[in-house]
Structure 1
């Protein structure tokens, strides 16, 4: 029997999304985009991002949905468990999880300290594991289709010298997502990873990161790296915008992607194809 094609108007009406790293560029853009399609939003980030998190919640509620700011640290399981419990008590069960919190790191293998290694792995890989450890019981108990979207990176599909620790964590997320797709499939929950190239956020467009690409300049601007960064892509752009990632998350969270699980979706202007 042929099933009806989902209606894509207000495609997330009735859903609630838990978003980690919600105060950041990708997280905040995704919170707004999901809210535009009717989703309530649990915006989770560290207490140090409290002011920005409050702004994100205000932007979301202005769109006519419910939103909740929750402070939690993805490196602390107890913190995430309490955050999930609070979110469910305030907004009810969530059916979408966008595990997005992360940090950027670089360095040649012999220069990376054990402290650097542990910090990157703990946030980028361990943080996602802890988030889902807290969220999975809610997804299983919800009894309706759910979606988990995990922010990896183009470095989770390919790697370059100087970014081994970051690539290890982001590659690790693919393994976790594939395993979770098996575990959660019987409960109607889909699990996928997204793999953005450089995104125009403060995490990427900062002085230290730009200098890594243009060490010949004391204070390079995005325009100074635009041509260099575009060389690695099939499309003639240096970077993408947060909304480009948010749109991909929206698709994977929506009923339009109801039979898509266990995949890795590049949002990279063709960089992984060019260098894969």
Structure 2
């Protein structure tokens, strides 16, 4: 027998959805039959609106909301706006994140802390306000985070741990919490400034020189998120799934 959650159209909220992996996830979830709210920074509203139009052409409802996920009041308002526009929240994909490269000995602590604001604080805030909304609805849900080099590795390790803790806390509410850890995915972040030292693109280029890893596409990650967001994943929680051509085994 279908649960109340499965009898109505489910709603997802995807952060960092103006491009790359986030955009691919939003479109995949729309293809899966979900209505989708998409989020990104205020300066990316035009790109967000383009994603909204793509989702609507797939026959699903869509809504764009801009916010900085490192700011608690904006995350709270983002979730409230998505629920007001689309009626509920069943899937949160905390995809927004930034990357960098560089050694520990050369670390610019201020820059590392700026990165942590997005990659750790931002994910925590998305988990917090999504969980509150899902518990209030009483129909379970799916919370999914982006977990993955320096400061980037530290922040993504924190997301893995946060995901496990959140999964234990929310299991009684039938809310699962999992994460996906992409390898080298072809996005603007991984190819931009590939010849500029300390840029994400430079780090990716250096990694590929010393390994035989393949690069993946945003759709490869979106396929994994599709499963984690689905009713079929109800027995999977607290896990971080690597999508990286075997670069990491856990």
Describe the SS at the equivalent of 2:105.
helix
**C-alpha separation in 2, matches of 1:170 and 1:226:** 18
Deviation for aligned residue 1:172: 0.3
1:172 aligns with 2:167: no
Structure 2: where are the runs of 5+ without partners? none
What is aligned with 1:113?
108
CA deviations 1:92-142 (Å, max 9, x no partner) are 111101000000112111322221121111011111011122221111112
1:91 aligns with 2:72: no
**C-alpha separation in 2, matches of 1:35 and 1:55:** 14
Deviation for aligned residue 1:12: 10
Q: Provide TM-score, normalisation by structure 1.
A: 0.82
What is aligned with 1:159?
none
1:37 aligns with 2:23: no
8 Å Cα contact 2:130/2:143 also seen in 1: no
CA deviations 1:63-93 (Å, max 9, x no partner) are 0010000011011111111111111111111
What is aligned with 2:63?
68
Deviation for aligned residue 1:228: 2.4
**C-alpha separation in 1, matches of 2:210 and 2:7:** 35
8 Å Cα contact 1:190/1:261 also seen in 2: yes
1:207 aligns with 2:193: yes
What is aligned with 1:197?
183
The structure number with the bigger radius of gyration is 1
What is aligned with 2:122?
127
8 Å Cα contact 2:163/2:177 also seen in 1: yes
Q: Residues 168 and 12 from structure 1, CA distance in 2 versus in 1: closer, same or farther, beyond 3 angstroms?
A: farther
4+ long deviations beyond 3 Å:
210-213, 224-227
**C-alpha separation in 1, matches of 2:206 and 2:25:** 26
Q: Residues 263 and 90 from structure 1, CA distance in 2 versus in 1: closer, same or farther, beyond 3 angstroms?
A: same
Number of equivalences:
245
Q: Provide TM-score, normalisation by structure 2.
A: 0.91
8 Å Cα contact 1:13/1:39 also seen in 2: no
Describe the SS at the equivalent of 1:150.
strand
Alignment of 1:1-276 (within 5 A): 14-153=9-148, 163-208=149-194, 211-212=196-197, 228=209, 230-231=211-212, 233=213, 237=214, 239-273=215-249
Q: Residues 228 and 83 from structure 1, CA distance in 2 versus in 1: closer, same or farther, beyond 3 angstroms?
A: same
Deviation for aligned residue 1:24: 2.4
**C-alpha separation in 2, matches of 1:123 and 1:267:** 21
CA deviations 1:155-181 (Å, max 9, x no partner) are xxxxxxxx3211110000011000000
8 Å Cα contact 2:96/2:118 also seen in 1: yes
Deviation for aligned residue 1:149: 1.0
Deviation for aligned residue 1:211: 4.8
Structure 1: where are the runs of 5+ without partners? 154-162, 214-218
**C-alpha separation in 1, matches of 2:79 and 2:68:** 12
8 Å Cα contact 1:12/1:38 also seen in 2: no
Relative to structure 2, which stretch is displaced further, 107-116 or 82-91? 107-116
Deviation for aligned residue 1:143: 1.4
